[in-house]
Amino acid sequence: LKWYPAPKHKEWNGPGTTPHFPEIVLGRCYTYTQVLRPELRHMDCQEIAKAFMRAFLSKDPCSSAEQDYQQLLRLTNQTIPCGTSVFWSKSNELAHQYTKVQWAMFTLEDMLVGYMADNLDWCGDHSSSDMNYESCPHWRKDCTTNPKSVFWDAVSRRFAENACGVVQVVLNGSISNTFDRNSTFGRVEIHNLYPGKVPTLQAWVMHDVGGVHRHSCSSPDINDLKLILRNRNIRFTCQDDYRPIKFLQCVTNSEHSSCNSVM
């Protein structure tokens, strides 16, 4: 009798768990707590990494729930000073370049829990205690209640709930959905800011150097954001091409004409 290996069909439509996921998460935890933020030296990375794995291993990857991440959230609790939270939407790279230079400011990826998970994929399986390295559910094609989407919703919600003082958001004015009600920022974060703690949200609408100006502070889209915040008693301010961030864009486009007038 000839033995054929089981066909390796992909179960889901999204990328599988990032190779070496457990080691990456553990290593990033140590880098963050021992090297980048030694004031967090006391945190237990073994426990933290274990809690991360337990949140999704041996579970149906379409039945993930925020509850699964409660232990991880407890272990990675971290406070930052008021007025230092930076949100972003469709401006991942630029927002992180900004907080890298403005080292007193924090995006979620500058917090331990976001730093550990940034750019990784992960999921498990109901009938196995291992990660699925082949494929993971795609949030649109398979299910929204997958381990990764649920994680980002949970940690984004906590990041917003914990924010205090004047907060900022970096938006991309060169795309059609500059303010997207279905994004994590539009769907989760703005609704979880506490008006008693957060008096004002400052939006920076950034345009790619030499790119189109799809939206600006005077666009109806941005007005939507303004109205949502007004209803929640949070003051809204908006500025197009905020200079400190424009300078960052001009570092790599210094010869472009639009970068002359910036200086």
Contacts of 15 (CB under 8 A, 6+ apart): 121, 135, 136
Q: Which is nearer to ligand N1C, 152 or 247 (CB)?
A: 152
Tell me: does residue 96 bind ligand N1C (CB under 6 A): no
Tell me: does residue 89 bind ligand N1C (CB under 6 A): yes
DSSP annotation of 45: H
Smallest distance, ligand N1C to C-beta of residue 169, A: 7
Tell me: does residue 87 bind ligand N1C (CB under 6 A): yes
Tell me: does residue 185 bind ligand N1C (CB under 6 A): yes
Q: Which is nearer to ligand N1C, 248 or 262 (CB)?
A: 248
Tell me: does residue 32 bind ligand N1C (CB under 6 A): no
Q: Which is nearer to ligand N1C, 43 or 150 (CB)?
A: 150
- Collapse the DSSP code of 232 into the 3-class scheme (helix H, G, I; strand E, B; otherwise coil) and give the result: coil
Which of 115, 117, 147, 120 lies closest to 19 in space, CA to CA? Answer: 120
Using the rule CB under 6 A, give the single segment among 47-55, 88-96, 127-135, 234-242 that binds ligand N1C. Answer: 88-96
Smallest distance, ligand N1C to C-beta of residue 152, A: 4
Tokens of 21: 């996921």
Tell me: does residue 88 bind ligand N1C (CB under 6 A): yes
Tell me: does residue 116 bind ligand N1C (CB under 6 A): no
Phi and psi based region of residue 59 (left: phi greater than 0; alpha: psi -120 to 50; beta: remaining): beta
Tell me: does residue 223 bind ligand N1C (CB under 6 A): no
- Of the candidate residues 145, 183, 200, 216, the single one contacting ligand N1C (CB under 6 A): 183
Task: List, by residue number, the catalytic residues.
Answer: 82, 164
**Strand-pair category, 14-15 with 135-136:** antiparallel
Task: Please give the C-alpha separations between residue 229 and each of 39, 88, 199, in angstroms, as whole numbers.
Answer: 35, 16, 10
Q: What is the DSSP string of 116-177?
A: HHTT-----BTTBSS--SSEE--TTTT-SSSHHHHHHHHHHHHHHHH--SSEEEEEETTSTT
Q: Which is nearer to ligand N1C, 95 or 259 (CB)?
A: 95
- Collapse the DSSP code of 14 into the 3-class scheme (helix H, G, I; strand E, B; otherwise coil) and give the result: strand
Which of 76, 19, 31 lies closest to 52 in space, CA to CA? Answer: 76
Q: Which is nearer to ligand N1C, 154 or 259 (CB)?
A: 154
Contact mark string toward ligand N1C, 142..181, x via CB under 6 A = ----------x---x--x----------------------
Smallest distance, ligand N1C to C-beta of residue 148, A: 6
Site of interaction with ligand N1C (CB under 6 A)? 87-90, 92, 108-109, 114, 118, 152, 156, 159, 183-185, 189
